[in-house]
Chains A and B, each alone.
Chain A
Amino acid sequence: MLELFEQLRAFIAQPWPWWVAGPVISVVMFLLLYFGHEFGISENFRIMCAADGADELNDFFKINWKDSQWNLLVALGAVFAGYMASHYFLGPDGDVAHISDATVASLREIGLPLEQGKVPVVPDFVSWSGLFTLKGFLTIAGGGFLVGFGARYAGGCTSGHAISGLSALQLPSLIAVIGFFIGGLFVTYIVLPWLLAL
């Protein structure tokens, strides 16, 4: 019995190929629709603002956050899954990202001394000590702020627009995803070569 569990654990713990992860995400979307909800993670930021009392200040936050508790539960599930996956289901190589050789080379070129096979999931400057450097602060706080602002302006993030919106063949979502890439490419090609060299 114990061996069976260990085999199952090892099976889940291998790195998942894209063709498993992608369809699993659509199953999550289907389950949420089936239970009468929608797939949209960034909406949680608005719900948390409302729960913290922002609903008294502004119409935009006048949502009954108690009706949206299911969405907070999705976020909580994600937190718990992160804990489980990183503590009990690490692959044979440990907590590394198997990025391409080309990406390792590009990152080394702009000043990040990475080694293939030892690329961490999260860079070392994304940490509490890194937060007090300009690089870490702009990455964590700057990135978070823009994500929070942009997601509500566009009415959705990767889950709401790229996955749910495009699945329902929504033109607005395509416009939003094109926007994601305009912004993302600008940062990756113009900002990061400067920022990561700091």
Chain B
Amino acid sequence: MLLGFALYKSEAVSYFRIYEMFRFQSFHMYGIIGSAIAAGVIIVQIIKRRHLRNTAGEEIVIRDKARSIPRYLIGGIIFGTGWALAGACPGPMFILLGAGHTVFIVYLLAAMTGTYLYGKLRPRLPH
């Protein structure tokens, strides 16, 4: 809920905001992502140094991501093309769906098809 409000009210869900970001014509999107990361770095450091526990009483561990270059680079490029093309990443898609843009059901089905095809091709792709 909080995420949805933050992204809708900051217009991060807008197709045109994404276009603007990739044209480097406004600081807005970089401000959102940048300040989220800045606050996120502080949060993660506090979690690690204070050994904070989650509600189940276990220490919160943030697992390191597996090392690889092709996987993140190629996958990232494909994701980036889709992001700029649709003007919406997965979070905004759900939000816009709720805002009454029901055509995003097609985006959701297409994304599931993409995910499914990746699952099928996975053994044959470089990781």
Residue of A nearest to B122 (CB): A60
Main secondary structure of the interface of A (DSSP, over half): helix
* Count: A-B pairs, CB below 8 Å: 467
In the complex, are the beta carbons of A179 and B111 less than 8 A apart? no
> Please, what's the 1-or-0 string for B88-115, where 1 marks a CB less than 8 Å from any CB in chain A?
1111011111111111101111111111
Q: Which residues of A contact B43 (CB under 8 A)?
A: 26, 29-30, 167
- Bound complex: CA of A16 vs CA of B28, how far in Å? 11
Chain B contact patch, size range: 35 or more
- Bound complex: CA of A52 vs CA of B74, how far in Å? 27
- Bound complex: CA of A130 vs CA of B102, how far in Å? 12
B65 at the interface (CB under 8 A from A): yes
- Bound complex: CA of A175 vs CA of B65, how far in Å? 12
In the complex, are the beta carbons of A159 and B91 less than 8 A apart? yes
- Bound complex: CA of A185 vs CA of B76, how far in Å? 12
A197 at the interface (CB under 8 A from B): no
Residue of B nearest to A82 (CB): B98
- Bound complex: CA of A117 vs CA of B44, how far in Å? 39
Q: A35-B54, A45-B115, A141-B106 are in contact. Are A183 and B2 (CB under 8 A)?
A: no
B-binding residues in A (CB < 8 A): 12-31, 33-36, 41-42, 44-46, 48-49, 52, 54, 57-58, 60-61, 74-87, 89, 91, 97-100, 102-103, 106-107, 114, 119-123, 126-128, 130-131, 138-155, 157-159, 161-173, 175-189, 191-192, 195
